[in-house]
Amino acid sequence: MSSRTPSPHFDSIDALIDHLLADPQREAVAAEIGALRSIYGDDAVSLWRLPESSEYASGNGTRNQEAKGTIRYEVATTVSPPSDPSTDHPLTLLVSVPTTYPESSAPQLQLLSRYIGSYGVDAALFGAVLRTYISRDGVEWTEGGVCVFDGVEWVREHCVQWLGEKMTQAKVDEITREDEKATTPESKTPEALESVEKSQQQDSRPETEVHMPEGVEIVVAEPILDRKSVFIGRACSITHPSQVPQILAHLVADRRIARAAHPIINAWRCRVGDNMHQDNDDDGETAAGGRLAHLLQILEVENVLVIVTRYYGGIHLGPDRFKHINQAARNALELGGFLDAPGAEAHNSGRKKGKSTRTKK
């Protein structure tokens, strides 16, 4: 490969494109920038201006790399939370393109936005974006192929998911705080009274750590929100009925779960030898456990425990609550891959709700 001349200073993104078009080996980079402008808008792609106060102003780091031909530009786009698709939150990315891209090197993306919505970008999200092209779950780059657009879209999807989790957690925290503030005279509905009573009972329990059975992983699906109530589905594999009480005790030991109006609505099926063992528990939500047991039966899944936690938001949902409980459970089963087992494939719709989060103790 022939050596490339250093990139001069550019006054505009158009000047950068013209410069790249003059080099046959960088025409693909120029065409990609043009494609990004056509997709996100002409004003969405701009040159990255290094702040004069930056540590790089002395000639180190970025400025020195630019002298070697590295191209850097910004892409400004938006993300919308899953719960409110009509609301756009700005998102700005820095794209760094080395001289050897796309022949033998991948680009690098970096979050320039410090906030997405009202939530500060944390180290985990920042690092995930940096690893867009080297992470197993990121974007696959192949030699000679341009991939900035794929990377930007992957980051947008990842940020939407991150934002949804932050908003859901904030909602759960708000409901938990409301439960803590609730008093019997102010909470007149039976479910609200039950929530306060459960919270008081849970707080009186000794805070002892309850370990999970060896090798058991709990899959947590994305919460379902409706009129201030939150439904969270969990699922895990079990090999013997004796594991169920230990798993449920482990969950209830988490004060955040224990404070829910109905922390561990559950059902399970487990085959031991030629015998099928099964049971369920409403956890105060009449008939909910039986409905979960029926769901496991019609899906023909075995050796699995499914749990749904319901945080009550103060508004009666009527029959809708059972719909959400079943959907939360099914989402967890799908995310855990339990519907991929033989006998369950015919019932698997292939739709996955949210992201799976695994915890292993």
Considering only CA atoms, which of 62, 36, 61 is closest in space to residue 49? 62
For the chain, list the strands marked E by DSSP.
45-47, 71-79, 89-97, 108-111, 115-116, 119-120, 217-220, 224-226, 229-237, 262-272, 275-281, 304-311, 357-360
Round to whole Å and give the CA distance between 278 and 294.
11
Q: Which two structure tokens, joined as six digits, stand for 73?
A: 């530009």
Residue 100 to residues 3, 25, 46, 143, 227: CA-CA distances in angstroms? 10, 9, 21, 10, 53
**Beta carbons of 112 and 74 less than 8 angstroms apart:** yes
Q: Is this model's pTM higher than 0.85 or not? A: no
Residue 51 to residues 54, 56, 121: CA-CA distances in angstroms? 5, 8, 21
CB atoms within 10 A of CB 198: 20
Please report the pLDDT score of residue 70 as a whole number.
84
Domains and CATH numbers, the chain: 13-49+68-163 (3.10.110.10), 218-336 (3.30.230.30)
**Counting beta carbons within 10 angstroms of the beta carbon of residue 288, is it exposed (0 to 12), middle (13 to 18) or buried (19 or more)?**
buried
* Region of residue 213 (phi > 0: left; psi between -120 and 50: alpha; otherwise: beta): beta
Please report the pLDDT score of residue 272 as a whole number.
85
Which amino acid would we find at residue 82? P
Tell me the torsion sign for CA atoms 198, 200, 206, 211: positive
Determine the length of the chain.
361
Q: Which two structure tokens, joined as six digits, stand for 33?
A: 């920038």
Beta bridge partners of 264: none
Round to whole Å and give the CA distance between 317 and 24.
64
In angstroms and rounded to an integer, the radius of gyration of the C-alpha atoms of the chain is 26
Please report the pLDDT score of residue 8 as a whole number.
53
Q: 27-40 and 148-181 helices cross at what angle (nearest 10)?
A: 40
Round to whole Å and give the CA distance between 305 and 307.
7
Q: Which helix (H) or strand (E) holds 197?
A: helix 190-203
Distance of CA 24 to the CA centre of its chain: 41
From first to last of the 361 residues of the chain, give the pLDDT tens digit.
Answer: 334 444 456 788 998 999 889 888 889 999 999 999 999 998 999 998 765 444 444 444 334 344 357 889 999 999 988 777 788 899 999 999 998 999 999 999 999 999 998 889 989 899 999 999 998 888 988 888 999 999 999 999 999 988 888 887 777 777 666 655 554 344 444 554 455 455 545 444 444 566 777 788 889 988 888 888 889 999 999 988 888 888 888 888 888 888 888 999 999 999 888 888 989 888 888 888 889 999 999 988 999 999 999 988 888 888 888 999 999 999 999 988 888 755 454 444 444 444 444 444 3
Alpha helices in 276-319 (DSSP H): 288-299
Considering only CA atoms, which of 116, 45, 111 is closest in space to residue 80? 116
Q: For the chain, give percent helix, strand, coil, nearest 5.
A: 40, 20, 40
Distance of CA 1 to the CA centre of its chain: 42
Round to whole Å and give the CA distance between 102 and 148.
10
Alpha helices in 237-287 (DSSP H): 243-252, 255-258
Please report the pLDDT score of residue 3 as a whole number.
42
Distance of CA 209 to the CA centre of its chain: 27
